[in-house]
Amino acid sequence: MEHLREEYDGELDPASVDSEDPLGLLTTWIHEAEQAGLSDPTAMCLATLGPDGSPRSRMVLCKGVEGTTVRFFTNLTSDKASQLQADARASLTFWWPDMDRSTRVVGHVTPLERAEVEAYFASRPRSSQIGAWVSDQSSEIEDRAALEAKHVSVHARFEGQDVPCPPHWGGFRFHAQEVEYWAGRPARLHDRIRLRFEHGAWSPSRLQP
Ligand SMILES: Cc1cc2nc3c(=O)[nH]c(=O)nc-3n(C[C@H](O)[C@H](O)[C@H](O)COP(=O)(O)O)c2cc1C
Protein backbone atom coordinates (compact mmCIF):
# COMPACT_ATOMS: atom_id res chain seq x y z
CA MET A 1 0.00 0.00 0.00
CA GLU A 2 2.94 2.33 0.52
CA HIS A 3 3.09 3.09 -3.21
CA LEU A 4 -0.49 4.41 -3.28
CA ARG A 5 -0.48 8.20 -3.44
CA GLU A 6 -3.13 10.76 -4.24
CA GLU A 7 -2.48 14.37 -5.25
CA TYR A 8 -5.19 16.67 -3.97
CA ASP A 9 -6.39 19.68 -5.89
CA GLY A 10 -9.19 21.21 -3.85
CA GLU A 11 -9.55 24.63 -2.31
CA LEU A 12 -11.49 26.13 0.57
CA ASP A 13 -12.38 29.83 0.41
CA PRO A 14 -12.49 31.07 4.04
CA ALA A 15 -15.31 33.40 3.00
CA SER A 16 -17.50 30.36 2.31
CA VAL A 17 -17.35 29.34 6.01
CA ASP A 18 -20.10 31.36 7.71
CA SER A 19 -20.02 31.81 11.50
CA GLU A 20 -23.73 32.67 11.37
CA ASP A 21 -24.54 29.39 9.62
CA PRO A 22 -21.80 26.90 10.63
CA LEU A 23 -23.32 23.92 8.77
CA GLY A 24 -24.27 25.93 5.68
CA LEU A 25 -21.14 24.86 3.82
CA LEU A 26 -21.80 21.22 4.77
CA THR A 27 -25.20 21.46 3.07
CA THR A 28 -23.57 23.06 0.01
CA TRP A 29 -20.90 20.35 -0.20
CA ILE A 30 -23.49 17.55 0.07
CA HIS A 31 -25.51 19.14 -2.74
CA GLU A 32 -22.41 19.62 -4.90
CA ALA A 33 -21.38 15.98 -4.32
CA GLU A 34 -24.90 14.90 -5.33
CA GLN A 35 -24.81 17.08 -8.46
CA ALA A 36 -21.37 15.66 -9.36
CA GLY A 37 -22.94 12.18 -9.30
CA LEU A 38 -20.91 10.85 -6.35
CA SER A 39 -22.41 7.75 -4.78
CA ASP A 40 -23.80 8.13 -1.26
CA PRO A 41 -23.06 11.89 -0.93
CA THR A 42 -24.76 11.84 2.50
CA ALA A 43 -22.67 8.99 3.95
CA MET A 44 -20.89 9.87 7.18
CA CYS A 45 -18.80 8.03 9.72
CA LEU A 46 -20.39 8.20 13.17
CA ALA A 47 -18.05 7.71 16.15
CA THR A 48 -19.44 6.92 19.59
CA LEU A 49 -18.05 5.95 22.99
CA GLY A 50 -18.49 2.69 24.87
CA PRO A 51 -19.02 2.49 28.65
CA ASP A 52 -15.28 1.98 29.19
CA GLY A 53 -14.49 4.98 26.97
CA SER A 54 -13.46 2.85 23.98
CA PRO A 55 -14.36 4.41 20.61
CA ARG A 56 -16.45 2.69 17.94
CA SER A 57 -17.34 4.02 14.50
CA ARG A 58 -19.52 3.03 11.54
CA MET A 59 -21.09 4.60 8.47
CA VAL A 60 -24.63 6.02 8.55
CA LEU A 61 -26.61 8.24 6.18
CA CYS A 62 -27.30 11.90 6.95
CA LYS A 63 -31.04 12.50 6.52
CA GLY A 64 -31.11 16.25 6.96
CA VAL A 65 -29.12 19.27 8.10
CA GLU A 66 -31.21 21.84 9.96
CA GLY A 67 -29.51 24.86 11.58
CA THR A 68 -26.64 23.43 13.63
CA THR A 69 -28.09 19.91 13.71
CA VAL A 70 -27.81 16.76 11.59
CA ARG A 71 -30.29 13.87 11.76
CA PHE A 72 -29.91 10.19 11.09
CA PHE A 73 -31.97 7.04 11.58
CA THR A 74 -31.12 3.64 12.97
CA ASN A 75 -32.27 0.66 15.00
CA LEU A 76 -32.62 1.66 18.66
CA THR A 77 -31.30 -1.67 19.95
CA SER A 78 -28.11 -1.45 17.85
CA ASP A 79 -24.70 -1.01 19.41
CA LYS A 80 -24.54 2.61 18.26
CA ALA A 81 -27.93 3.47 19.80
CA SER A 82 -27.05 1.76 23.10
CA GLN A 83 -23.79 3.69 23.24
CA LEU A 84 -25.48 7.00 22.41
CA GLN A 85 -28.19 6.40 25.02
CA ALA A 86 -25.46 5.94 27.66
CA ASP A 87 -23.13 8.70 26.44
CA ALA A 88 -24.54 11.27 24.02
CA ARG A 89 -21.16 12.55 22.82
CA ALA A 90 -20.37 11.74 19.20
CA SER A 91 -18.48 12.82 16.11
CA LEU A 92 -19.40 12.69 12.41
CA THR A 93 -16.98 12.66 9.47
CA PHE A 94 -18.01 13.12 5.85
CA TRP A 95 -15.62 12.45 2.96
CA TRP A 96 -16.23 13.16 -0.72
CA PRO A 97 -13.14 11.58 -2.30
CA ASP A 98 -13.61 12.86 -5.85
CA MET A 99 -13.97 16.43 -4.58
CA ASP A 100 -10.98 16.45 -2.19
CA ARG A 101 -13.30 17.53 0.60
CA SER A 102 -14.08 16.34 4.10
CA THR A 103 -16.03 17.71 7.06
CA ARG A 104 -15.86 16.71 10.70
CA VAL A 105 -18.53 17.67 13.22
CA VAL A 106 -18.21 17.12 16.97
CA GLY A 107 -21.13 17.34 19.41
CA HIS A 108 -23.82 15.30 21.11
CA VAL A 109 -27.13 13.68 20.18
CA THR A 110 -30.71 13.77 21.41
CA PRO A 111 -33.39 11.25 20.39
CA LEU A 112 -35.76 12.22 17.57
CA GLU A 113 -39.43 12.68 18.37
CA ARG A 114 -41.58 9.64 17.57
CA ALA A 115 -43.74 11.61 15.10
CA GLU A 116 -40.64 12.63 13.12
CA VAL A 117 -39.39 9.03 13.05
CA GLU A 118 -42.74 7.69 11.90
CA ALA A 119 -43.07 10.35 9.18
CA TYR A 120 -39.65 9.48 7.78
CA PHE A 121 -40.28 5.71 8.07
CA ALA A 122 -43.49 6.10 6.05
CA SER A 123 -41.47 7.70 3.22
CA ARG A 124 -39.04 4.76 2.93
CA PRO A 125 -39.34 2.08 0.25
CA ARG A 126 -41.38 -0.95 1.38
CA SER A 127 -38.31 -3.21 1.12
CA SER A 128 -36.43 -1.02 3.63
CA GLN A 129 -39.47 -0.91 5.92
CA ILE A 130 -39.61 -4.70 5.94
CA GLY A 131 -35.85 -4.88 6.50
CA ALA A 132 -36.25 -2.76 9.64
CA TRP A 133 -38.62 -5.40 11.09
CA VAL A 134 -36.36 -8.29 10.03
CA SER A 135 -33.12 -7.10 11.62
CA ASP A 136 -32.33 -7.05 15.33
CA GLN A 137 -29.41 -4.88 14.30
CA SER A 138 -26.05 -5.73 15.91
CA SER A 139 -27.38 -8.96 17.54
CA GLU A 140 -25.81 -12.27 16.53
CA ILE A 141 -27.61 -14.71 14.23
CA GLU A 142 -26.57 -18.27 13.42
CA ASP A 143 -26.40 -17.98 9.63
CA ARG A 144 -27.70 -16.20 6.49
CA ALA A 145 -30.49 -18.77 6.10
CA ALA A 146 -31.93 -17.78 9.49
CA LEU A 147 -31.98 -14.11 8.40
CA GLU A 148 -33.71 -14.99 5.12
CA ALA A 149 -36.27 -17.09 6.97
CA LYS A 150 -37.07 -14.06 9.16
CA HIS A 151 -37.45 -12.00 5.97
CA VAL A 152 -39.97 -14.45 4.53
CA SER A 153 -42.02 -14.45 7.72
CA VAL A 154 -42.06 -10.60 8.00
CA HIS A 155 -43.18 -10.41 4.34
CA ALA A 156 -46.06 -12.77 5.10
CA ARG A 157 -46.99 -10.88 8.26
CA PHE A 158 -47.47 -7.54 6.44
CA GLU A 159 -48.91 -8.97 3.19
CA GLY A 160 -51.58 -6.60 1.81
CA GLN A 161 -51.10 -3.88 4.43
CA ASP A 162 -48.88 -0.88 5.14
CA VAL A 163 -45.73 -1.66 7.12
CA PRO A 164 -45.87 0.24 10.45
CA CYS A 165 -42.76 1.75 12.03
CA PRO A 166 -41.23 -0.81 14.42
CA PRO A 167 -41.02 0.36 18.04
CA HIS A 168 -37.30 -0.47 18.01
CA TRP A 169 -36.60 1.85 15.05
CA GLY A 170 -35.75 5.53 15.50
CA GLY A 171 -33.18 8.20 15.06
CA PHE A 172 -31.06 10.92 16.58
CA ARG A 173 -30.53 14.61 16.16
CA PHE A 174 -26.85 15.47 16.34
CA HIS A 175 -26.10 18.94 17.77
CA ALA A 176 -22.84 20.44 16.54
CA GLN A 177 -20.44 22.18 18.91
CA GLU A 178 -17.46 22.17 16.54
CA VAL A 179 -17.21 21.92 12.74
CA GLU A 180 -14.11 21.53 10.62
CA TYR A 181 -14.01 21.88 6.83
CA TRP A 182 -11.05 20.29 5.03
CA ALA A 183 -9.98 20.67 1.41
CA GLY A 184 -7.04 18.65 0.08
CA ARG A 185 -4.42 20.76 -1.72
CA PRO A 186 -1.10 20.09 -3.50
CA ALA A 187 2.05 19.28 -1.49
CA ARG A 188 -0.13 18.27 1.49
CA LEU A 189 -0.69 21.97 2.30
CA HIS A 190 -4.38 21.36 2.83
CA ASP A 191 -6.90 23.98 3.91
CA ARG A 192 -8.56 23.41 7.28
CA ILE A 193 -11.03 25.84 8.80
CA ARG A 194 -12.62 25.11 12.14
CA LEU A 195 -15.62 26.76 13.75
CA ARG A 196 -16.09 26.33 17.49
CA PHE A 197 -19.06 27.34 19.59
CA GLU A 198 -17.51 29.27 22.50
CA HIS A 199 -18.96 31.92 24.83
CA GLY A 200 -22.23 31.99 22.90
CA ALA A 201 -20.78 32.44 19.40
CA TRP A 202 -19.08 30.46 16.64
CA SER A 203 -15.46 31.47 16.18
CA PRO A 204 -13.38 30.47 13.15
CA SER A 205 -9.70 29.43 13.09
CA ARG A 206 -7.41 28.14 10.36
CA LEU A 207 -5.57 24.94 11.34
CA GLN A 208 -2.30 23.65 9.97
CA PRO A 209 -2.71 20.66 7.66
C1 LIG B 1 -22.76 3.83 3.24
C2 LIG B 1 -23.42 3.21 4.44
C3 LIG B 1 -24.55 3.79 4.98
C4 LIG B 1 -25.18 3.25 6.09
N5 LIG B 1 -26.25 3.90 6.63
C6 LIG B 1 -26.81 3.43 7.77
C7 LIG B 1 -27.85 4.19 8.42
O8 LIG B 1 -28.28 5.27 7.97
N9 LIG B 1 -28.35 3.68 9.57
C10 LIG B 1 -27.89 2.52 10.12
O11 LIG B 1 -28.39 2.12 11.17
N12 LIG B 1 -26.90 1.80 9.55
C13 LIG B 1 -26.34 2.24 8.39
N14 LIG B 1 -25.31 1.54 7.80
C15 LIG B 1 -24.82 0.30 8.48
C16 LIG B 1 -23.88 0.69 9.61
O17 LIG B 1 -22.62 1.11 9.09
C18 LIG B 1 -23.66 -0.41 10.65
O19 LIG B 1 -23.22 -1.62 10.03
C20 LIG B 1 -24.93 -0.72 11.42
O21 LIG B 1 -25.69 0.44 11.67
C22 LIG B 1 -24.60 -1.38 12.76
O23 LIG B 1 -23.74 -0.54 13.50
P24 LIG B 1 -23.56 -0.71 15.08
O25 LIG B 1 -23.45 -2.20 15.34
O26 LIG B 1 -22.30 0.01 15.41
O27 LIG B 1 -24.77 -0.12 15.73
C28 LIG B 1 -24.67 2.05 6.68
C29 LIG B 1 -23.53 1.46 6.13
C30 LIG B 1 -22.91 2.03 5.04
C31 LIG B 1 -21.65 1.39 4.49
- Residues 100 and 188: beta-carbon distance below 8 Å: no
Q: What is the pLDDT of residue 168?
A: 96
- CATH numbers and ranges of domains, the chain: 14-124+166-206 (2.30.110.10)
Q: What is the pLDDT of residue 35?
A: 97
Q: Show which residues are catalytic.
A: 188
75 Ramachandran zone, left/alpha/beta (phi>0; psi -120 to 50): beta
Rounded distance between C-alpha atoms, residue 143 and residue 12, angstroms: 47
Q: What is the pTM of this model?
A: 0.97
Query: Which distant-in-sequence residues (6+ apart) come within 8 Å of 85 by Cβ?
Result: none
Alpha carbon of residue 63 to chain centroid = 8
Alpha carbon of residue 172 to chain centroid = 10
Q: What is the pLDDT of residue 109?
A: 98
Ligand 1 atom at minimal distance to the Cα of residue 48: 26
Q: Is 50 in the pocket of ligand 1 (CB under 6 A)?
A: no
Tens digits of residue pLDDT in 95-139: 999 999 999 999 999 999 999 999 999 999 999 999 999 999 999
Rounded distance between C-alpha atoms, residue 206 and residue 102, angstroms: 15
Backbone angles phi, psi at 171, to 5 degrees: -170, 175
CB atoms within 10 A of CB 118: 14
The fraction of the chain above a pLDDT of 70, given in percent, is 100
Q: Is 40 in the pocket of ligand 1 (CB under 6 A)?
A: yes
Predicted confidence band at 15 (pLDDT cuts at 50, 70, 90)?
very high
Return the amino acid letter for 5: R
Q: What is the pLDDT of residue 71?
A: 98
Instruction: Please give the sequence-ordered ranges of beta strands (E in DSSP) within 62-168, or none if there are none.
Output: 65-66, 69-75, 89-96, 101-111
Query: Is beta strand 89-96 parallel, antiparallel or unpaired with respect to 65-66?
Result: unpaired
Average pLDDT over residues 169-193: 97
What is the distance in A from the centroid of ligand 1 to the CA of 138?
A: 10
Instruction: Please give the sequence-ordered ranges of beta strands (E in DSSP) within the chain, or none if there are none.
Output: 43-49, 55-61, 65-66, 69-75, 89-96, 101-111, 169-183, 191-198, 201-206
Return the amino acid letter for 167: P
Q: Is 74 in the pocket of ligand 1 (CB under 6 A)?
A: yes
Rounded distance between C-alpha atoms, residue 45 and residue 26, angstroms: 14
C-alpha atoms less than 13 angstroms from C-alpha of 139 in its C-beta half-sphere: 10
Tens digits of residue pLDDT in 141-163: 999 999 999 999 999 999 999 99
Tens digits of residue pLDDT in 184-195: 999 999 999 999
Predicted confidence band at 166 (pLDDT cuts at 50, 70, 90)?
very high
Q: Is 136 in the pocket of ligand 1 (CB under 6 A)?
A: no
Instruction: Give the three-class secondary structure for 86.
Output: helix
Tens digits of residue pLDDT in 30-76: 999 999 999 999 999 999 999 999 999 999 999 999 999 999 999 99
